[in-house]
């Protein structure tokens, strides 16, 4: 089975981490499976995976719908005798659909990794309902429900949760407390999120303001890891204006940042839109308790008060109060992490994700039960 994975992402994020994990796991699967990843040359994703264990092809993309990418889809399909094309983002889907106009391609499988609704536009509806797409793999039941509103054939929709790789090998990037000169008494609250609208870092800043300036809880230090964007200067300006700089460390993009999660005391997610962030799974693995907004598929893996705390998006005071309360209850922190770790091992590993994805590939290629019968 030869699978071509299409990514048009420019940065490294949870969606790209999913592609890497999926392909690594599929390479270990029983049977002769070859995975080829087509990505944007010299973009963050390409730089991360080009010297690794995966077969990677890259093409420049100077404009959003660069015809060189389209041409590369067609040439790689012939070069590797591709059986199935797995598309991993909306831009890649557009490029894949464009390629169908220029040559014969194998069936498509599409991953829907966010809870953003499919826009009710003619061209958008056309590409998401394109007959070349045989399966749409949704990252959560919430994503599946939202997607179903604009997908004509609901039988194409299938939920496959992502997950984290077990075991995770840590090389120990650096010691956060030493690097940031933090005492052992400081509570490190970590957030891993690129500086994009969906991650809602405005709420993250207001949480810090409430904790530090209103509640006067000076024993917290907030660490934020993720790629800077044009939104970043506004965040830094707000932090300076609120006199929060000494309580905040924005570290930017760090390769293999998940290796630092074990040093967090609490993981904090403030997103206003999500599929299910990889950061949560990795916090579960490292036994770090999670406080999060209840958006997208997150309530499917965190039950409020059972294995973490949840609250509505855009409610910084509520998130801050839960953060303070959890930091003072070590028994509850331990209970949350033990339950979350158990849930992860039983349900949310990349091995399970790859097994379920492979089963869907086989259904597309060989029939309903994956055997051709």
SS (H, E, C) 260-312: HHHHCCEEEECCCCCCCCHHHHHHHHCCCCEEEECCCCHHHCCCECCCEEEEC
Q: b/e map of 157-186 (b: 16 or more CB within 10 Å)?
A: bbbbbbbbbeeeeeeeeeebeeeeebeeeb
Q: Which residues pair with 222 in a beta bridge?
A: 189, 248
Given CA atoms 334, 340, 346, 351 in this order, what sign does their dihedral have?
negative
Averaged confidence pLDDT in the chain? 94
The pLDDT tens digits of the residues spanning 88-105 come to 999 999 999 999 999 999
pLDDT confidence of residue 63: 86
Q: Are 105 and 78 in contact (CB under 8 A)?
A: no
Q: What is the C-alpha separation between 59 and 50, in angstroms, rounded?
A: 12
In the structure encoding, which two tokens stand for residue 165, read together? 């790789």
At residue 367 the predicted structure's pLDDT band, cuts being 50, 70 and 90, is confident
Q: Which two tokens stand for residue 322?
A: 């839960």
**Residue 112 to residue 139: CA distance in whole angstroms:** 6
Which whole number is the average pLDDT over 78-85? Answer: 98
Give the CATH number of domain 2-163+349-366.
Answer: 3.40.50.2000
Cross-strand partners of 225: 192, 252
Let me know if 204 is exposed, middle or buried by CB neighbors in 10 A (0-12, 13-18, 19+). buried
* Backbone dihedral angles phi then psi of residue 8, each to the nearest 5 degrees: -110, 20
pLDDT higher than 70, residue 372: no
Please tell me the CATH code under which domain 176-347 is placed: 3.40.50.2000
Among the ranges given (18-32, 47-61, 73-87, 210-224), the one the predictor scored with the smallest mean pLDDT:
18-32
pLDDT of residue 373: 44
Give the contacts of 56 (CB within 8 A, at least 6 positions apart): 36, 37, 39, 46, 49, 50
Are residues 294 and 284 in contact, defined by beta-carbon separation less than 8 angstroms? Answer: no
- Residues of the chain within CATH 3.40.50.2000 domain(s) are 2-163+349-366, 176-347
* pLDDT confidence band for 14 (50 / 70 / 90): confident
pLDDT of residue 30: 67
pLDDT tens by residue, 300-310:
999 999 999 99
User: DSSP for 200-239?
Assistant: -HHHHHHHHHIIIIIS--TTEEEEEES---TTHHHHHHHH
What Cα–Cα distance (Å) separates residue 326 from each residue in 10, 201, 318, 320, 321? 37, 21, 12, 10, 9
% of the chain exceeding 70 in pLDDT? 97
Q: Among 44-53, 64-73, 161-170, 246-255, which is the least confidently predicted range?
A: 161-170
The answer, yes or no, to whether residue 171 has pLDDT greater than 60, is no
pLDDT above 50 (res 6) = yes
- Give me the pLDDT at residue 314, please: 97
User: What confidence score (pLDDT) does residue 32 get?
Assistant: 84
Tokens read off for 93: 């889907």
d(CA 148, CA 28): 33
Region 22-50: mean pLDDT is 91
Are residues 126 and 98 in contact, defined by beta-carbon separation less than 8 angstroms? Answer: no
Taking residues 53-81, what's their average pLDDT? 95
Cβ–Cβ under 8 Å, residues 140 and 161? yes
For residue 95, what pLDDT is reported?
Answer: 97
| Predicted pLDDT of residue 172 | 65
DSSP 146-198: HHHTT-S-GGGEEE----B-SSPP------HHHHHT--TTSEEEEEE--SSGG
């Amino acid at each position: 089975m030869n699978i071509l994975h299409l990514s048009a992402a420019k940065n490294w994020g949870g969606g790209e981490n999913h592609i890497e994990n999926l392909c690594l796991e599929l390479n270990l699967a029983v049977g002769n499976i070859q995975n080829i990843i087509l990505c944007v040359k010299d973009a963050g994703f390409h730089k991360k995976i080009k010297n690794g264990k995966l077969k990677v092809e890259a093409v420049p993309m100077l404009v959003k719908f660069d015809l060189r990418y389209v041409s590369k889809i067609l040439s790689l399909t012939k070069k590797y005798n591709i059986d199935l094309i797995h598309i991993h983002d909306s831009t890649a889907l557009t490029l894949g659909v464009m390629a169908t106009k220029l040559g014969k391609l194998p069936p498509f499988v599409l991953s829907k990794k966010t809870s953003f609704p499919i826009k009710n536009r003619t061209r958008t509806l056309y590409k998401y309902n394109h007959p070349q797409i045989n399966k749409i793999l949704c990252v959560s039941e919430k994503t599946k429900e939202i997607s179903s509103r604009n997908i004509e054939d609901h039988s194409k929709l299938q939920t496959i949760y992502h997950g984290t790789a077990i075991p995770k090998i840590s090389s120990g990037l650096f010691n956060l407390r030493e690097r940031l000169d933090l005492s052992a008494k400081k509570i490190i609250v970590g957030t891993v999120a690129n500086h994009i609208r969906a991650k809602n870092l405005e709420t993250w800043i207001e949480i810090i303001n409430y904790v530090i300036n209103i509640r006067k809880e000076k024993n917290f230090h907030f660490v934020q890891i993720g790629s800077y964007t044009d939104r970043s200067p506004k965040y830094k300006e707000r932090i300076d204006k609120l006199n929060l700089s000494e309580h905040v460390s924005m570290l930017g993009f760090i390769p293999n940042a998940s290796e630092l999660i074990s040093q967090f005391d609490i993981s904090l997610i403030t997103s206003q839109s999500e599929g299910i962030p990889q950061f949560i799974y990795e916090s579960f693995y490292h036994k770090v308790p999670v406080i999060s907004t209840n958006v997208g598929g997150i309530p499917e893996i965190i039950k409020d008060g059972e294995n973490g705390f949840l609250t509505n998006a855009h409610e910084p005071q509520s998130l801050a109060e839960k953060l303070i309360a959890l930091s003072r209850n070590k028994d509850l922190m331990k209970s949350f992490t033990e339950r979350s770790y158990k849930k992860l091992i039983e349900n949310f590993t990349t091995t399970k994700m790859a097994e379920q994805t492979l089963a869907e590939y086989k259904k597309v290629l060989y029939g309903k039960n994956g055997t051709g019968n």
